[in-house]
Structure 1
Amino acid sequence: MKPTTARFVPARREAVLSYGLRGQNAPVATALLDCLAQGLPVHASHQGIRPAGTQPAPWLFCQSSGSGGRVKTIRRSHGSWIASFEISRAAFGLSPRDRYAVLGQLGHSLALYATLEALHLGAGLLLLAGDSPRSQMRQLTDSAATVLYATPAQLRRLLMADAGPLHSLTHVFCGGGKLDPDCRAAMAALCPNAVIREFYGTSETSFITMADGATPEGSVGRAYPGVSLHLGPAGRIAVASPYLFDGYAEPDLPLPPREEGHLVTGDIGWLDGAGHLFLRGRESRMVLVADRNLFLEDVEAALATAGAGLCAALAVPDPRRGHSVLAVVEGQGDDTLAARLRRACREALGDHAAPRRIIFLPRLPVLASGKPDLALLARCFGAKA
């Protein structure tokens, strides 16, 4: 496949360097800038950034989170993200006058996307991955950052600094997971002048929908500009847009299936009459418990609402019920909390959803995005993630 002609061309290299990149972020930022300056394809991973070849080509390779059990190398054209950058310029008024702050490592696609958007627009850029919450808050204040990109887990960590407010922030973009109401409310208090936008998408599709303060509770928003949504049998979500990836670098990985020309995401959901998308969960995480379909994401949401914090729901084979639910919760063992969590799941979802076992771990293994490493937990406990 021939790459498209659109290329990332940093508007102002000094816009990045002027904000004092230092420490662990300096080498990876320099490597990215060098690849772009030479026109070389960029390979971004948790090990850093390197050229993906020796010949100039507008390709970008970034890795998926591995939440599906295997890290995949996503190949996309520069143009697939540049199209989104121009949406940000037109729809949100982002410009060279802005100062971006990015909380994640550049090996994670959300952080890389935000960094490249800042470079494309010629905005200032502050890379804060690896810094403590207090240090991040201090730098956000000192730099008068106006745009923040982060995952929900990174926002929750930032809030641990218990500082602020951040009056300079005008845009907060959150992706890579569900932004719970408590975290959204805390961020609104921390950034009183900011519009908080949550987007839903995948590594393969980039943006699918975007939500803001006017979006109904529980929805991930309406279709992002340029996106066509198609809901197939049983609510299977498929999407067509200019932002889709071009394939996987791994030759043994087949492309996702398509329905009516739309790429199937693997998620299940439904649309209301106004076009707001509501997610049920991953098709692969729907299990049969006592002859009833159960989305493990629904169990995790009930656990979190009842005070579980970082947690994961797994399905364990059960000869009588098909599966039973195993909950893994970060923290010290607590019989009172365990009873409350079971009761919350039972009341919200039914008896079949109450975990048969609740295991407390001092620390849950997490992916680079901050999500629990479901595949690793499933292997540890002989379960389905």
Structure 2
Amino acid sequence: MQPDGPRALNSADAACGGILECATSGTSGSPKYIRRSHLSWIASFEVNARLFEVSPEDTYAVLGALSHSLSLYGVLEAGHVGADVCMLAGLRPDRQLGQLNERSVTMLYATPTQLESLIAAGPEFRLARIRRVLVGGGAFRPALAEKCHGLFPHATLTPFYGASETSFITMADDQRPAGSVGKAYPGVEIAIRSNRGQATHELGEIWVRSPYLFCGYADPVASDTRDQDGFVTVGEFGRMDDDGNLFIAGRKSRMVTISDQNVFPDEIENFLAAHYAAGQLAVVSVPDAKRGHSLAVVATAGNGKAALETAMKRCRKAHGAHRTPRHVFFVESLPQLASGKPDYVQITAWLEDQL
């Protein structure tokens, strides 16, 4: 799927049951086009149908463009199970709310940023028919979960972690420990490996083996993505506890060195957001002549200054001063990609003009 619609692939690519193309989110750079077999997604369609008791009586909805994998996945899953589907990309959040209600949607695929936009557009709105919200494409923080319970009073919230290249890796429920993205999705094997490629119980690179992996890139190729012995990594780092709960630190491509220590901006962003309910925020790195890099936080809701200061104090206590952002900015809204994720490239470019 290209932004302007689908395009045909060479018949030779159909050797593994047919091939489709879709874009990655492009969170930290230009989107990459990946190829995956039809069978890789069909396998997870059938898992979800069992897990969520999906039937042709359901109505799905997606909020983003079909050129990105989360929305495309939701549409194709609906088609596979014979359910109706509502595609709402391009509509204002208030009109999306109206369509979700009018079309009696029961299953919703969305990113955290898209959910924030829906809630801001209709704080008093209630979508009582939605029974499950599947949340991917970013960290699903406790403050947002509380807001979602108001908008979707009868829905089960199901955050999942994955990537365009891997599809599902973990799925979470209400029993997950704080900060975790849950346990392995059915059929997924997760390995945490050190820089030397050895299994580790400490922070390491996340490797995944499953029936849901992609076939490769169409263009361009992601340098952090590697495969070995049936496992694939996209350069994400994390750790796993003894119960199999996965905790994400962040992407290798976004890792920076501050005062000779490796720091993941994603990890700090997730920590701050868990303690800041006044709005959205993003954490990025900026050059620092003394320390190599430092972190900056850009947040929405100008009246949330005191709340963010409290979150920053907790961050210093938990992670230390050098991992806590040195620069703080408030904006009306955060730039977003078409996929519904924060546009870190645009945020970083804006910061360069402020500092």
So what's the TM-score if we normalise by structure 2? 0.86
Partner of 1:219: helix, strand, or coil?
coil
Q: Which has the higher contact order (CA 8 A, sep 6+)?
A: 2
Which residue is 1:77 aligned to? 37
Q: 1:338 to 1:256 in 2, by over 3 A?
A: closer
Q: Which amino acid aligns with 1:152?
A: P
- 1:263-306 deviation digits (Å, cap 9, x = unpaired): 01211111112111111222232322223332212332344323
Q: 1:333 to 1:145 in 2, by over 3 A?
A: closer
Which residue is 2:329 aligned to? 359
Residue 11 of structure 2 corresponds to residue 51 of structure 1: no
Which residue is 2:181 aligned to? 220
Q: Which amino acid aligns with 2:267?
A: D
Residue 152 of structure 2 corresponds to residue 196 of structure 1: no
Residue 293 of structure 2 corresponds to residue 323 of structure 1: yes
Deviation at 1:336, TM superposition (A): 6.1
Separation (CA, whole Å) in 1 of partners of 2:269 and 2:164: 22
Residue 215 of structure 2 corresponds to residue 263 of structure 1: no
Contact 2:312–2:324, Cα closer than 8 Å, also in 1 = yes
Which residue is 1:209 aligned to? 170
Q: Of the candidates 348, 364, 368, which is equivalent to residue 338 of structure 2?
A: 368
Q: Which amino acid aligns with 2:79?
A: L
Separation (CA, whole Å) in 2 of partners of 1:103 and 1:251: 26
Deviation at 1:142, TM superposition (A): 2.6
Residue 245 of structure 2 corresponds to residue 276 of structure 1: yes
Contact 1:238–1:259, Cα closer than 8 Å, also in 2 = no
| Gap runs ≥5 in structure 2 | 195-202
Deviation at 1:140, TM superposition (A): 2.2
- 1:80-124 deviation digits (Å, cap 9, x = unpaired): 111111111222211111111222221221111000011111101
Farther-moved stretch of structure 1 (78-87 vs 156-165): 156-165
Residue 269 of structure 2 corresponds to residue 300 of structure 1: yes
Separation (CA, whole Å) in 1 of partners of 2:130 and 2:178: 24
Farther-moved stretch of structure 1 (133-142 vs 86-95): 133-142
Which residue is 2:138 aligned to? 177
Which residue is 2:129 aligned to? 168
Deviation at 1:318, TM superposition (A): 2.6
Deviation at 1:335, TM superposition (A): 7.3
Aligned residue pairs, count: 339
Partner of 1:134: helix, strand, or coil?
helix
Q: Which amino acid aligns with 1:271?
A: M
Contact 1:269–1:279, Cα closer than 8 Å, also in 2 = yes
Which residue is 2:199 aligned to? none
Partner of 2:235: helix, strand, or coil?
strand
Which residue is 1:312 aligned to? 282
Q: 1:255 to 1:269 in 2, by over 3 A?
A: closer
Separation (CA, whole Å) in 1 of partners of 2:346 and 2:102: 39
Separation (CA, whole Å) in 2 of partners of 1:323 and 1:263: 30
Which residue is 1:37 aligned to? none
Partner of 1:112: helix, strand, or coil?
helix
Deviation at 1:332, TM superposition (A): 5.4
Max Rg structure: 1
Q: How does 1:19-58 map to 2 (within 5 A)?
A: 44-45=1-2, 47-53=3-9, 57=14, 58=18
Partner of 1:279: helix, strand, or coil?
strand
Q: Which amino acid aligns with 1:94?
A: V
Which residue is 1:22 aligned to? none
Deviation at 1:219, TM superposition (A): 1.1
Partner of 2:175: helix, strand, or coil?
coil
Separation (CA, whole Å) in 1 of partners of 2:128 and 2:318: 38
- 1:329-357 deviation digits (Å, cap 9, x = unpaired): 34659976775565454234221123332
- 1:32-62 deviation digits (Å, cap 9, x = unpaired): xxxxxxxxxxxx23x2312234759522111
Q: 1:284 to 1:253 in 2, by over 3 A?
A: closer
Q: 1:184 to 1:335 in 2, by over 3 A?
A: closer
Coordinate RMSD, CA, aligned = 2.6
Q: 1:376 to 1:344 in 2, by over 3 A?
A: same
Farther-moved stretch of structure 1 (115-124 vs 61-70): 61-70
Residue 58 of structure 2 corresponds to residue 102 of structure 1: no
Q: Of the candidates 132, 152, 166, which is equivalent to residue 112 of structure 2?
A: 152
Which residue is 1:290 aligned to? 259
Deviation at 1:77, TM superposition (A): 1.1
| Gap runs ≥5 in structure 1 | 1-43
